Structure 1
Amino acid sequence: MLPARSRLTHRDEFASVIRRGRRGGRSRLVVHLHRAPEESGPRAGFVVSKAVGGSVVRHRVSRKLRHLVATRLDVLPGDVRLVVRALPPASDATSAELAEDLDSGLRSALRKLNGDVR
């Protein structure tokens, strides 16, 4: 579970990360990273739309993603804001598949955020 201080909660925060951040896309999800002016520890939020499935499916995907991100927050820089956007194929994915896509997306977005675009 993500602690309350590690969650993005306001629409403006989500919009800022998605609009200004760097993106790492995979088949099941897209990772958006953005550096915030204040350093209060990394914070994360999730976007799981109706395109992923019904409410039960969306909540299952959200729970899996929250669990995966919680274990990875300590490796992110303190000023980073993260938004993970689930795509429709995430509905059928296992936790291991989502973890693989999340790690790959984070690596890609971190590289772009640090200016090492390959």
Structure 2
Amino acid sequence: MLARGNRITRGAEYKAVVRGGSRCAGAHTVTYIVITGEARPSRFGFIVSKQVGGAVVRNTVRRRLKDVCARSLPRLADGVDVVIRALPSSATADFRALQRDVDRCLMKRAAA
């Protein structure tokens, strides 16, 4: 589980990362990354729309993505903001497929 300090919570922060961040697309997710360089923990945000599925499916995908990010947190540099947009195919993807998508993008752009 991601601690509160590791989550993006405001709409303006989501917008800033999506609009100003580097974009990395995978089979099941699109990852936006901004390296702020600030001396604070890395933060994550998740966008899982109704196109992914019903509420149960969306929450399952969100929980899986949170777990993937929590496992990746020690390898990231400080001050990195990440927003992950789940694509409709993420509803049927298993945990390992989501982990491969996210890890590939994080290690390419934001590794410590």
Q: How far 1:41 moved relative to its partner? A: 1.1
- Is the deviation greater in 63-72 or in 97-106? 97-106
The answer to whether the Cα contact below 8 Å between 2:37 and 2:78 also exists between their aligned partners in 1 is: no
Q: Any residues of structure 2 matched to 1:1-118 within 5 Å, and which?
A: 1-36=1-36, 38-110=38-110
The answer to whether the Cα contact below 8 Å between 1:23 and 1:108 also exists between their aligned partners in 2 is: no
Q: What is the TM-score normalised by the length of structure 1?
A: 0.88
Q: How far 1:79 moved relative to its partner? A: 1.2
- Which sections of structure 1, spanning at least 5 residues, go unmatched? 112-118
% same residue: 36
Count the aligned residue pairs: 111
Q: How far 1:73 moved relative to its partner? A: 1.1
Structure 2 distance, partners of 1:9, 1:77, is: 20
Q: What is the TM-score normalised by the length of structure 2?
A: 0.93
Q: Write the letter of the residue equivalent to 2:107.
A: R
| Deviation digits for residues 58-87 of structure 1 (CA, Å, limit 9, x no counterpart) | 000000000110011111110110111100
SS at match of 1:5: helix
Structure 2 distance, partners of 1:90, 1:63, is: 12
Q: How far 1:4 moved relative to its partner? A: 0.7
Q: How far 1:37 moved relative to its partner? A: 5.6
Q: Could you list the structure 1 runs, at least 4 aligned residues long, displaced by more than 6 angstroms after superposition.
A: none
The answer to whether the Cα contact below 8 Å between 1:32 and 1:109 also exists between their aligned partners in 2 is: no
The answer to whether the Cα contact below 8 Å between 2:24 and 2:30 also exists between their aligned partners in 1 is: yes
Structure 1 distance, partners of 2:26, 2:90, is: 10
Structure 1 distance, partners of 2:72, 2:9, is: 19
